[in-house]
Structure 1
Amino acid sequence: MTDLRPFRRAALALLVAAALPGCALFRTPPPLTVESAYAQGMEAYNAGQWRRAAELLGQFVPNATSDPRLKGALMALGRAHLETREYVSATAQFLRVATEFPRDPEAEAARFGLCDAYHRLSPRPQLDPEYTNAAITYCESFASIYPGTPQAAQAQAWVAEMRGKLAQKAYENGFFYFRRGLYDAAIVYFNNVVTQFPESPWSSSALLRMTEAYGRLGYREEEAATRARLLREYPQSPEARNLAAAPADSAGR
């Protein structure tokens, strides 16, 4: 027969502990106050505990409208969201600092945070470009307000990257129609690449496809003009070198 006495003694010990005042085993943690949310949130932030910091500071910020620590808490909350890849939430915190405290020192970091967060949100070129356009807007704005800074140089590099994505998307849209023999529609997209993103490597590819499209449509004058433009404006591109090596009347055929 199983000896149940040890189990009975353990149950009795638990009952006695529950009856003792202040027993740690059954003690209810004190409710989180605004002060403790801030203190624990910043402690977690400084320790690199990003999710914990975001949780606690997220409880402090709505109750700290007139608190002088609000700006710092918003910046910490935004950076914590960046670290946890909650980029949309990060933009909300940085935008608050930039709009509510536009002349304070924190505004510069907040504006760069907006640029950074939207750059991270920017998807592959084939997807909706909403966040890519937002990244261009905020990064161009930052670079114009804080020229000559390392962050401005980074923002400009991100702008070039984002514009390259838009150029690629426009080119691929044009090529979609080109492959199906819908050359007029393809030309519209290819022309958009060249006019809106002339600095992009996709521009020389778009001009080559436009040359081919005009040739297949039998528009000899437009074909020749587009060919000449490619050779003139992008002479070092692979497309221009290949086209220059081919007979002029063989383009597009």
Structure 2
Amino acid sequence: MLASCSEYQRLLKSTDYELKYNRAMEYYKAENYTRAATLFEELIGIYRGSDKAEIITYSYADALYRLKDYMMAAHYYQQLVRTYPASDYAEECQFMTAYCKYKLSPKPRLDQSYTRQSINDFQLFINMYPNSNRIAESTRLMDEMRDKLVYKSYLNAKLYFDLGTYRGNNYLSAVIAAQNSLKEFPDTKYREELSFLILEAKHIQAVKSIEEKQEDRARDAVDEYYSFINEFPESKHLKKAEQIYKESSALIKEEVN
């Protein structure tokens, strides 16, 4: 082991780049990705524009991916696609660019920049390679990322709802946030939760309104109730929705049919 470490240290200091390339490929094939990546990092600049540049870029990107350095792996996968669009590796690298960003996508409560980038890159992959055997997987992962974005928007809307009237009318903000989410992702699995949040927020707005605005807002809540039960007649929120309807109707001067 000591001899191996000593040899590797000499290799790092060497200016024999052909030897470094051969050893880097040996390390890579032996799944010693840490040593391979260290050598590829230097070689990628040395061999730029040569006939070895393509395989070095691919191997470096793949080694970084296997080391779970998804940010840098995505960069080099993407670089290969841009530099060698006709490469035999191009299809795989386009998919892996998107997949690395999928791996970087954090929990819904955090910033979702990588989630959106992943969706865009998967869509680009589908557009570029419509006959790929990875289309179904790409579509599934895109749907997963979209659900994460919807859940993030639901959490934002719920935060506004929970803030209530703290420093303003946060119920209105909750309604707008939930409505925007439904417009962007109409088929989301969170549709029922978002729709009920809108109903509940509109009802509370009506209850807490000043007198001259109360009746109009109550009517809006009643209209929202009808939309909700028409779409979700067996909702788990049905009992509470019925209570909202009764309370909102009581705020309207004329009878609500």
Identify the TM-score tier after normalising by the shorter chain. Answer: 0.7 to 0.9
* Structure 2 unaligned residues grouped into runs of 5+: 1-5, 165-169, 207-216, 250-257
**What is the percentage of aligned positions where both structures have the same residue?**
23
- Equivalent runs, 1:49-128 vs 2, <5 Å: 49-128=32-111
Matching residue of 2:3: none
| Aligned-pair CA distance for 1:247 | 2.8
Q: Deviations over 1:206-236 (max 9, x none)?
A: 1101001111112233323333333444556
Matching residue of 2:180: 192
CA radius of gyration, larger in: 1
Q: Deviations over 1:63-82 (max 9, x none)?
A: 11121121111111111111
Corresponding residue to 1:221 among 219, 222, 233? 219
The 1:245–1:213 alpha-carbon spacing in structure 2 relative to 1, beyond 3 Å, is closer
Q: TM-score, normalised by structure 2?
A: 0.79
1:207–1:227 CA contact under 8 A, matched in 2: no
Q: Which moved more, 1:225-234 or 1:215-224?
A: 225-234
Q: Which moved more, 1:126-135 or 1:218-227?
A: 218-227
2:218–2:248 CA contact under 8 A, matched in 1: no
Q: Which moved more, 1:28-37 or 1:87-96?
A: 28-37
The residue identity in structure 2 corresponding to 1:29 is R
Q: Deviations over 1:104-147 (max 9, x none)?
A: 22211110110111000111111111111111110111122222
| Aligned-pair CA distance for 1:148 | 4.0
| Aligned-pair CA distance for 1:34 | 2.0
> Helix, strand or coil for the counterpart of 1:247?
helix
Paired residues, number: 224
Q: TM-score, normalised by structure 1?
A: 0.81
Q: Deviations over 1:7-30 (max 9, x none)?
A: xxxxxxxxxxxxxxxxxx9xx936
Q: Deviations over 1:41-70 (max 9, x none)?
A: 111111111111111111111111121121
1:119–1:132 CA contact under 8 A, matched in 2: yes
